Chains A and B, each alone.
Chain A
Amino acid sequence: MEILLSFIHSNLEILYIVILSVFLGIEVISRVPSVLHTPLMSGANAIHGVIIIGSIIVMGEASADNFVVLALGFVAVIVGTINVVGGFVVTDRMLEMFKSGKEKPSKSTKVK
């Protein structure tokens, strides 16, 4: 109990961030039309790629002769980057199509 209380006290700021972020995440998403579920999932997927910063720190703090850590960190940076870059590019490709879909009606009505 005492450990828990002292933990809460010493990490109060982080707890505030966590709790507010939870509500923020729920609030931001809750009214999204089902049309956007797929791109939104993909976009959120890219955002958690921010984990790459952790892997950069791991590699950056490793000494140059600790090959195990270097190898693990190297792989971590690669997969983290794949998550970030791939996630954003794929989301952009999906949303690009929505945009062209939206511009089309003005053209087709003109033809009519």
Chain B
Amino acid sequence: MEASILAICYLIGSVSFIIGLKMLSHPAKARRGNLVSAAGMGIAILATLLLYHPGGEALHNLIWIISAIIIGTIIGATAARRVKMTAMPEMVSMFNGMGGLCAALISIVELGRVANDHSDMHVLSILAGMVIGSVSFTGSMIAYGKLQGKIKDHAFKGQHLVNLFVLLLIVIIGAIIITSNGTFSALIFYSMLGLSVVYGILFVLPIGGADMPVVISLLNSFTGIATACAGFLYNNQVMLTGGILVGSAGAILTILMCKAMNRSLMNVLIGSFGSTGTGAVHSVTQQGSSKEISLGDAAMVMGYAQKVLIVPGYGLAVAQAQHVCNELGKLLQNNGVVVKYAIHPVAGRMPGHMNVLLAEADVPYDDLLELESANEEFGSTDVVLILGANDVVNPAALDDPSSPIYGMPILEVGKAKLVIVNKRSMRPGYAGIENELFFKPNTSMLFGDAKTVLHELVNLVKEL
């Protein structure tokens, strides 16, 4: 009786994950979708606590389990509530790492319990869960460090060969353990664990910091697979379906993210320009020099323009200037200027991140233009204000086949009458290439931190 109620609860859990994910992919239903999955998760966990009776006995150590859940809830909820919207990518990475660690720990315990009566397939799924889980854990931690700016990109010659070698070693040890029929030594098991931990670090370390979102999405998918392995081990359908669902959805999402940047996954992982960017393989010869515009002039042209398009980018996210950006937009709108925001799919620190940031600052959803509609509007725009965006407005993507970003869809800001570029310096963006746009006759540079500059602009526009 209890077992069948448990099975039904797991079924509800699985279905709620599917419905939740489906709803998450529609803007209007997304929030409810998240709640649906959360409710399904709650039911599955509660049912396990109350109804899971292996061998007819209730679960032992319930007090310990519940206190661990309470501790985890407090830590997780506080962290999730306190985190700034701009630090969202590293938070997701951190949570993903926790899931990976959980999978790895489960596998360590389970392998210790494996006696000869377990089939090879069970041992295989335990090992896979451990390897994937620990790679996901250490990889996510490195990604977290990189996004926080605490860990720099490290790449050395032949790193990919070293990585391949480590991976091969892991596979070989795995094969030894499986064929040993349960007689393997603890040492060989721990060396496999150690290698997996190291592999996670080596795997993420050479990848450029700006590519971390893709890596996190990939690691997310890994953790899903590790979960599915554990689900197979316990013959637990909700873990199996949840894990596989996230595994495949995460893989597709990773590919979609790469597509938005017009790069292949291989390209991101090998890091052909993320990490070696300083080399600036292809440097455009500087045609003439760039012009600067004073804050006063910038405020003047925007205040008296008919239509202003704002292009927010990574620099805006880093400077956390989304609120003051909205203030400027509102102010201009009150002066009768049409203000819209042109959002490149990969603007910000993750695809879609910029939309979240601007939504946080109460920018109306209708004022956000997607790439295609923005490109139609640039022709009739007086002033384009670019805030810390670089590669997404680089015309080399359109007209220079030798450029590493050639073919990436960009915001064609050059069509507007005047382009004001706010940047902290002339340094190239993460692709490490010069931006011809800065030297165009209708482009003016406005150097400074996005937040400071926007504050000044707000004050100056008020005085107009």
Contact = CB atoms under 8 A, between A and B. Distances in A.
A36 interface: yes
B120 A3 contact: yes
Q: Tell me what chain A mostly uses at the interface: helix, strand, loop, or mixed.
A: helix
B242 A37 contact: no
A82 B18 CA distance: 22
Interface in B87-144: 88-89, 91-92, 94-96, 98-99, 101-103, 105-106, 108-110, 112, 119-121
A90 B92 contact: yes
B462 interface: no
A42 B252 CA distance: 14
B364 interface: yes
Contacts of B99: 45, 48-49, 51, 79-80, 83
B435 interface: no
Nearest to A80: B102
B149 interface: no
Interface in B56-71: 59-62, 64-65, 68-69, 71
Contacts of B83: 90
Contact of B350 (A17, A31, A37): A37
A29 B253 contact: yes
A64 B75 CA distance: 26
B61 A37 contact: no
A89 B343 CA distance: 26
Contacts, number: 389
B52 interface: yes
A11 B231 CA distance: 13
Given A38-B356, A50-B44, A60 B345 contact: no
A59 B49 CA distance: 11
Interface in A47-82: 47-64, 68-70, 72-82
B151 interface: no
Nearest to B104: A76
A23 B41 CA distance: 22
Q: How large is the interface on B (under 10, 10 to 19, 20 to 34, 35 or more residues)?
A: 35 or more
Contacts of A108: 364
A5 interface: no
Q: Tell me what chain B mostly uses at the interface: helix, strand, loop, or mixed.
A: helix
A102 B362 CA distance: 9
Interface in B177-221: 213, 216-217, 220
Contact of B68 (A57, A61, A78, A83): A78
Interface in A88-107: 88-102, 104-105
Contact of B60 (A42, A49, A61): A61
A34 B256 contact: yes
B27 A33 contact: yes
Contacts of A22: 244, 247-248
B312 interface: no
A38 to B, nearest CB: 4
B80 A58 contact: no
B293 interface: no
A54 B109 CA distance: 11
Contact of B101 (A7, A79, A99): A79
17 contacts: A22-B244, A25-B245, A32-B25, A34-B351, A35-B343, A36-B27, A36-B30, A41-B216, A42-B92, A56-B48, A79-B102, A81-B69, A81-B71, A85-B73, A86-B95, A90-B83, A95-B34
Given A41-B220, A44-B250, A98-B365, 15 more contacts: A29-B252, A34-B345, A34-B352, A45-B96, A45-B220, A48-B220, A50-B238, A69-B109, A79-B98, A88-B37, A94-B88, A95-B31, A97-B359, A98-B356, A105-B364
